[in-house]
Copies of this chain bind each other. A is one copy, B any other.
């Protein structure tokens, strides 16, 4: 029972309170693929603390005039970078090559 930040456990009502956004906005940002709540068996949306933070960040940017489409593109890029780093790590782990950061023995 770990990784509290990523676990999808909150229904939309509490998300509304925590973010101060309307349910309409929360669902709209999902429609624009900026967040991806989990769906319970019966279909209710479940969000994580991480989703809350993302929502707050999104709404601030939208208020400043950002387009949801552009925010989506930004997120895609970030995800690509993360994936690249993961692959690099995996390659390093597999071949046992020089570490990215050298640490002197002491």
The interface of chain A, by Cβ under 8 A from chain B, is 1, 4-5, 7, 9-11, 13-14, 17-18, 40, 46, 49, 52-53, 56
CB closest chain-B residue, reference A46 = B14
Q: How far is A86 from B106 in the complex, measured between Cα atoms in Å?
A: 38
Task: Give which listed residue, B1, B9, B40, B56, contacts A9 with CB less than 8 A.
Answer: B9
Whether the pair A4, B49 counts as a contact (CB closer than 8 A) is: yes
Whether the pair B1, A52 counts as a contact (CB closer than 8 A) is: yes
Q: How far is A7 from B17 in the complex, measured between Cα atoms in Å?
A: 13
In the complex where A1-B52, A4-B49, A49-B4 touch, is A18 in contact with B14 (Cβ < 8 A)?
A: no
Residues of B within 8 A of A46 (CB): 14
